[in-house]
Amino acid sequence: MSGFVLIRGGRVIDPANGMDATGDVLLEDGIIRAVGRPDVPSGAKVLEADGLVVAPGLVDMHVHLREPGFEYKETIAGGTLAAAAGGVTTVACMPNTRPVNDDPSITGYILQKALLEGIVNVAPIGAVTKGLEGRELTEMGLLMRAGCVAFSDDGRPVADSGLMRRALDYSRAFGALIIQHAEEPSLSAGGCMHEGVVSSRLGLPGLPAAAESVMVDRDIRLVELTGGRYHVAHISVAGAVEAVARARARGLPVSCEVAPHHFSLTDEAVVGYDTDAKMSPPLRSVEDRNALLEGLARGVITVIATDHAPHDSDSKRVEFCHASNGVVGLETMLPVSLELVRDGVMTWMDCLRAMTVAPARLLGLDRGRGTLSPGSVADLVLFDPEAVWVVDAARLHGTSKNTCFHGRRVRGRVKKTLVAGRIVFDDDL
Amino acid sequence: MGSHLWNRKHLLGMADLSREEIQSILDAAASLREVNRREIKKVPTLRGKTVINLFFENSTRTRTSFELAGKRMSADVINMSVASSSVKKGETLIDTLATLQAMNPDVVVIRHPESGAQEFLARHLDTAIVNAGDGRHEHPTQALLDLLTIHDHLPLLDRSGFEGLVVAVCGDSLHSRVARSIALGLRAMGGEVRFVGPPGLIPPKAEEAFGARVYHDMEEGLDGAHVVMALRLQLERMTVGFIPSVREYFAFWGLTRARLARAAPGAFVMHPGPINRGVEISSEVADDRERSVILEQVANGLAVRMAVLYRLCGVGGGR
Ligand SMILES: [Zn+2]
């Protein structure tokens, strides 16, 4: 869209600049020109935002787009549509596709597809090891040059200690972030839900909390050794939050993200063998959930990311232990996270920071994503913070509908999503 | 037969059942036992009804018991076995659904190696389902037959009800659906259950999950118990890595005459079978007619299953 657009009269919340005030946002040719009470050039198109929150478009640093290779679960087109509907303007997509994103040519393919068919920004995450096999490092430098923004073997941990040391060490050459799916395989083997009272009652093999905290503890020792930048994906247990808190207090380059399902649900959601409540890591105990909330409140957990993991219904309509791990999350991220604000866990500013500038900075996203600073790309979300709605799996925009929030009454609804000044989602249409 | 107390469509587990519901099944089973003592062991109660035994796991004992229960009540009984080797990723389960629906049975009795498989089918199938064992989750008819057996022996223990009765469930309760179901059933009836066995073979947080008291010392666990239930140690698959050897297991957790002496006077021994002699129980205890009620359990299994089929077929009582 060329020319001027004025987003008028909304509550503008921009955590990057510590701003929370009623005002206007002026865009020109897809770039943010001014925020506050700018002079409005004649002929500017006006978007009324009265009663709405105007914020930087959300950045979700943990998304599975499934393309290439698993297009029957999700595509770049479908996944980015779900993102737009959720107010998410940038998704970092995990490399566990087929083929794995472990080669610059695959990164190029994803970016090309995103350019042609995607409707929000796609930032690929490269694999730490070739084929996610945990044996040989990928060409991190060339992958970053091709467009990767971080590295992860997500879905699997980098289990070998020596290899993790090399990855954390080598990544420093490029300032790359290593994202770990923290799980000690010998402790989690065979488990298909959190080990605790509920797994005992349901007779399902459990996966102890220690499987995660043991790995985070180990990795932090390796960060001490190497100085590499380390990020815990989808943190889910109290022990891991504690470990990250200690590491951060000592100034180590350690961070972590939490998924909305982990801070809003517990293993009780599995009762009835609901496979839409099956993911990895699993929904945890009440105590773990409380530790996640406390971690968010204290600023130990700085990022909210969905681990959006679409699965076709055949992968879920099976016995619990055979069902695929994962839930979709892009379209429920905002309202479920806003529950944190209403419950007094986080301020508006901190909650939105965890979904905008915090992940954008961790990933080193260019051109000022996740902020409304003048000169930034005009990626924005306009949402009605009071609108109440009920999540209905059938009405989700993505290809797969495996949500664990079906039937949940939520508050906060995305009205418009803009990417580079262009409206990519409009709830009123 | 107090059918007003029963209005469930399925029997999926003991977890759902109230004391009254359990009592109503036990009462019905007790009166149906009479049929099994007749010369012509057949009543026309379920004539025209179809019962399908669908077993995804081998179990001649349980399948035969259900089959006989159906036949004694004149139901048409069909056995379907699905070899577990062909069960891949649940495809068979979904596929089997359509086949089953087409047969329009009144009751489907299902055994499946995965916990929750019957609950999964109950959501998709329009027929009454009896859980004949799912993974390590539940085996409600086994618990009911155990409760009936205990009930029969209450007078010998100088007791009139389950209230305050102490049952020691010994061995690998972690992998045992029998242990879970009897613990839940006993709790509902007001009894006290103990899980006795090596650490690591007891379900995590068993106190909270089942109201069970946990003992790792066999002698302490048996102390004053009225009923001792020995669980089968599933050597084939489950206990590998949990215990160092059978020899060590028997040395510390085998049910021997000396250990049994710690139990209350008149205490008796149960076992869901089949027995591993010299592993979880010594032969002299297993074969002791004074102490062991293992054969009574088998007979009661038939009566309980007749009662369950009767209830779920909705004869003489709304469902
Ligand atoms: Zn992961």
In a structure prediction context, what are the per-residue pLDDT tens digits for chain B, which is 319 residues long? Answer: 444 567 789 999 999 899 999 999 999 999 999 888 888 888 899 999 999 999 998 888 999 999 999 999 999 999 988 765 455 555 567 777 777 888 889 999 999 999 999 999 998 888 899 999 999 999 999 999 999 999 999 998 999 999 999 999 999 999 999 999 999 999 999 999 999 999 999 999 999 999 999 999 999 999 999 999 999 998 766 566 888 888 999 999 999 999 999 999 989 999 988 889 989 999 999 999 888 898 899 899 999 999 999 999 876 544 3
Provide mean pLDDT across the span A240-265: 98
- Closest by alpha carbon to B52, among B88, B92, B102, B8? B102
Q: Give the per-residue SS3 of A237-260.
A: CHHHHHHHHHHHHCCCCEEEEECH
% pLDDT > 70, chain A: 100
Cα separation, B294 vs B273, in Å, equals 8
Ligand 1 centroid from CA A125, angstroms: 13
Query: What pLDDT shows up at residue B83?
Result: 65
Query: What pLDDT shows up at residue B234?
Result: 80
For residue A203, the chain B residues in CB contact (below 8 A) are 115-116, 134-138, 177, 180
Ligand 1 centroid from CA A62, angstroms: 8
Residue of B nearest to A198 (CA): B209
Residue of B nearest to A318 (CA): B90
φ/ψ region of B99 (left if φ > 0, alpha if ψ in -120 to 50, else beta) reads: alpha
pLDDT for residue A314 is more than 60: yes
Query: What pLDDT shows up at residue B58?
Result: 84
Question: How far apart, in Å, do the first and last CA atoms of chain B sit?
Answer: 14
Residue of A nearest to B116 (CA): A273
pLDDT for residue A205 is more than 70: yes
Cα separation, A103 vs B244, in Å, equals 46
For residue A320, the chain B residues in CB contact (below 8 A) are 114-116, 120
Provide mean pLDDT across the span A206-221: 98
Q: What is the DSSP letter of A389?
A: E
Token representation of residue A5? 């657009």
CA distance A73 to chain B (A): 17
Q: Is residue B284 a contact partner of residue B275, using CB atoms and an 8 Å limit? A: no
Ligand 1 centroid from CA A96, angstroms: 10
Whether residues A320 and B112 touch (CB distance < 8 A) is answered with no
Element (H, E) at A167: helix A161-170
Query: What pLDDT shows up at residue A428?
Result: 86
Residues 160-199 in B contacting A (C-alpha not used; CB under 8 Å): 177, 180
Q: Is residue B201 a contact partner of residue B242, using CB atoms and an 8 Å limit? A: yes
Token representation of residue B180? 């879970």
Taking the CA atoms of chain B, what radius of gyration do you get in angstroms?
Answer: 19
Ligand 1 centroid from CA B10, angstroms: 37
For residue A200, the chain B residues in CB contact (below 8 A) are 203-206, 209-210
Token representation of residue A117? 């068919």
A22 touches chain B (CB under 8 A): no
Closest residue to B116, CB basis, from A200, A202, A206:
A202
Active-site residue list of A? 307
Cα four-point dihedral sign A343, A347, A350, A356 = positive
- Buried/exposed A373-399: b ≥16 CB within 10 Å, e otherwise: ebebbbbbbbbbbebeeebeeeebbbb
- Closest by alpha carbon to A379, among A409, A420, A343? A420
Q: pLDDT tens digits, residue range A1-47?
A: 458 999 999 999 999 999 999 999 999 999 999 999 988 898 899 99
Query: What pLDDT shows up at residue A214?
Result: 98
Cα separation, A44 vs A58, in Å, equals 25
Residue of B nearest to A200 (CA): B203
Ligand 1 centroid from CA A331, angstroms: 19
Ligand 1 centroid from CA A266, angstroms: 18
**Pairing state of beta strands A303-304 and A254-258?**
parallel
Whether residues A200 and B204 touch (CB distance < 8 A) is answered with yes
Half-sphere exposure of A375 (CA within 13 A, CB side): 4
Query: What pLDDT shows up at residue B87?
Result: 53
Q: Is residue A370 a contact partner of residue A359, using CB atoms and an 8 Å limit? A: yes
Token representation of residue A257? 């993200």
CA distance A233 to chain B (A): 27
Closest residue to A320, CB basis, from B91, B115, B208:
B115
Taking the CA atoms of chain A, what radius of gyration do you get in angstroms?
Answer: 20
Residues 86-145 in B contacting A (C-alpha not used; CB under 8 Å): 89-91, 93-94, 112, 114-117, 119-120, 134-138
Q: Is residue A255 a contact partner of residue A247, using CB atoms and an 8 Å limit? A: no
Element (H, E) at A24: strand A19-28
Residue of B nearest to A190 (CA): B238
Q: Which residues surround ligand 1, an ion (CB under 5 A)?
A: A 154, 181, 233
Query: What pLDDT shows up at residue B86?
Result: 53
B37 touches chain A (CB under 8 A): no
Whether residues A320 and B134 touch (CB distance < 8 A) is answered with no
Q: Is residue A203 a contact partner of residue B115, using CB atoms and an 8 Å limit? A: yes
Mutate to test the interface with B, among A288, A319, A324 (most CBs of B within 10 A): A319
Provide mean pLDDT across the span A321-340: 97
Residues 222-251 in B contacting A (C-alpha not used; CB under 8 Å): none
Provide mean pLDDT across the span A347-359: 98
Longest dimension (CA), chain A: 68
Q: pLDDT tens digits, residue range A35-67?
A: 999 888 988 999 999 999 999 999 999 999 999
For residue B118, the chain A residues in CB contact (below 8 A) are none
φ/ψ region of A166 (left if φ > 0, alpha if ψ in -120 to 50, else beta) reads: alpha
- Residues β-bridged to residue B193: B167
CA distance B48 to chain A (A): 32
Rounded to two decimals, what is the model's pTM? 0.93
Cα separation, A218 vs A157, in Å, equals 12
Ligand 1 centroid from CA A66, angstroms: 14
Mutate to test the interface with B, among A197, A198, A199, A202 (most CBs of B within 10 A): A202
Residue of A nearest to B120 (CA): A319
- Closest by alpha carbon to A16, among A318, A389, A371, A330? A371
A206 touches chain B (CB under 8 A): yes
Residue B90 vs residue A315, higher pLDDT: A315
Distance of CA A332 to the CA centre of its chain: 12
Residues 13-32 in B contacting A (C-alpha not used; CB under 8 Å): 15
Query: What pLDDT shows up at residue B97?
Result: 74
CA distance A192 to chain B (A): 11
Mutate to test the interface with A, among B92, B137, B139 (most CBs of A within 10 A): B137
Strands (E), A79-140: 88-93, 121-126
For residue A319, the chain B residues in CB contact (below 8 A) are 90, 93, 112, 114-117, 120
Q: What average pLDDT does chain A have?
A: 97
Residues 174-203 in A contacting B (C-alpha not used; CB under 8 Å): 195-203
Whether residues B208 and A319 touch (CB distance < 8 A) is answered with no
Closest residue to A202, CB basis, from B89, B137, B210:
B137
Q: pLDDT tens digits, residue range A155-179?
A: 999 999 999 999 999 999 999 999 9
One-character DSSP codes across chain B = --GGG---S-B--GGG--HHHHHHHHHHHHHHHHHHHSSS----TTTT-EEEEEESS--HHHHHHHHHHHHHTT-EEEEEE--GGG--TTHHHHHHHHHHHHH--SEEEEEESSTTHHHHHHHH--SEEEEEEETTTB-HHHHHHHHHHHHHHGGGGT-SSSTT-EEEEES--TT-HHHHHHHHHHHHHT-EEEEES-TTSS-TTHHHHH--EEESSHHHHHTT-SEEEEPP--TTTTSBTTBS-HHHHHHHH-B-HHHHTTSPTT-EEE--S---BTTTB-HHHHT-TTTB-HHHHHHHHHHHHHHHHHHHTTTTS--
